[in-house]
Amino acid sequence: MIRVKDRHITWHEGMTVADMLRELGDGFPYAAALINDRYVCRRDFPTALIPDKAEIILIPGVGGG
């Protein structure tokens, strides 16, 4: 099980960030993700592996601030 956006998603061996986003299904174009404390940018979503029990923070590409 992994945790993202206050939701729990079932983990499977070889799960990538792209897989996780498909499971999450919110369709948002995130710019980056923090997997525990490891940072992954969007271009690496298809290949970046997620370990079991990971805590994930998704980061949008903020326009202002």
Residue 39 or 52 having the CB closest to another protein:
39
In eight-state DSSP terms, residue 64 is -
Query: Can residue 63 be called a binding residue for another protein (CB under 8 A)?
Result: yes
Question: Cβ(36)–Cβ(2) under 8 Å?
Answer: no
| Count of H-run helices and E-run strands, the chain | 1, 5
Site residues for another protein, window 11-50 (CB under 8 A)?
Answer: 26-32, 34, 37, 39, 41-43
Chain residues that interact with another protein, rule: CB under 8 A: 5-6, 26-32, 34, 37, 39, 41-43, 57-65
